[in-house]
Amino acid sequence: MRAVIVTRVSTDEQGASGLGLESQLNACRQWAEREGYEPIGPYVDHLSGSAALDKRLGLIDALAELRKGDVLLTAKRDRLARDPLVIAMVEAEVCKKGCRIVSAAGEGTHSDDPAEVLMRRIVDAFSEYERLLIRARTRAAARVKRQRGERWGQVAYGTVLVDSNRLAADPAELAVIEEIKARRARGETLRGLAAWLETKGVPTKSGKPWSFSTVRSILERSA
């Protein structure tokens, strides 16, 4: 019998107790040894639990590795995902392969008894709730820092870093933003705006070519 191990960690969760990749792997290997399964993997993802399934390359590889009778083993169910829809899709694929999902922490994965299924759904709901709380706190912290004129993440277009943590307006980039907004108001498409900026030789903040998504982000931020 084989246990295909899946682990996941995101930037926001790196410092949280019990969520490190090594601790996840140890919990899975201990479960496999205790239950008599051969551990396979691990298959690792470094991204948010809200990410779409097509972004979960480690999880996708783990699903491809499954053979009939295997278990897809994770330290906790929220390591699979924090989005109930993604978890439902994973469960459907695992079931189709004649396998099942097991959490080393238990969490209602011992069987498909009604009580166990209910436990799984409760765990998934609380996982999504926790994800939403993390996102709300992150956005609140970002809003406070921006109000103080402090840096948060990447330096936004229209601002410049004047010391290690303070931001100031960039007049040249602000002028570009106003031109983007004016052209957009006249009906120009996002792709058209990106092409115009490239033609004009206007540099992006990252130095990469302009794209419609970059233009959209600037418009959303300056709305």
Rounded to an integer, what distance in angstroms lies between the CA atom of residue 101 and that of residue 23? 19
- Does 57 share its domain with 128? yes
207 DSSP assignment: S
Same domain, 115 and 33: yes
For the chain, give the mean pLDDT: 84
Q: What length does the chain have?
A: 223
* pLDDT band for position 152 (cuts 50, 70, 90): low
Residues 119 and 83 in one domain: yes
Task: Say whether both 123 and 217 belong to one domain.
Answer: no
Task: Give how many domains the chain has, as a whole number.
Answer: 2
Residue 146 belongs to a domain: no
Asked if pLDDT for residue 13 goes beyond 60, the answer is no
- The verdict on 110 and 167 lying in the same domain is no
The least confident of 43-47, 155-159, 171-175 is: 155-159
Q: How far apart are CA 111 and CA 132, in angstroms?
A: 29
Instruction: Please write the tens of the pLDDT for every residue from 74-119.
Output: 999 888 888 888 888 898 999 999 999 999 988 877 767 777 777 7
Task: Check whether residue 190 and residue 119 sit in a common domain.
Answer: no
Asked if residue 20 belongs to a domain, the reply is yes
* Domain encompassing residue 212: 159-222
Q: What per-residue confidence (pLDDT) applies to 129?
A: 65
Bond before 203 cis per omega within 30 degrees: no
Do 119 and 199 belong to one domain? Answer: no
Residues 215 and 180 grouped into a single domain:
yes
Whole-angstrom distance, CA of residue 186 vs CA of residue 218: 17
Can you tell me the mean pLDDT for 61-74? 96
Q: Tell whether the model's pLDDT for residue 14 goes beyond 70.
A: no
The domain spanning residue 106 has which CATH number? 3.40.50.1390
Backbone φ, ψ for residue 46 (5° rounding): -115, 80
186 and 120 in a common domain: no
Over range 158-178, report the average pLDDT. 84
Q: Is there a single domain that holds both residue 19 and residue 120?
A: yes
Same domain, 125 and 163: no
Q: Do 51 and 111 reside in the same domain of the chain?
A: yes
Q: How far is CA 202 from the centre of its chain?
A: 31
Nearest-CA neighbor of 74 among 92, 94, 55, 54? 94
Domain boundary among the residues 132, 150, 183 is at: 132
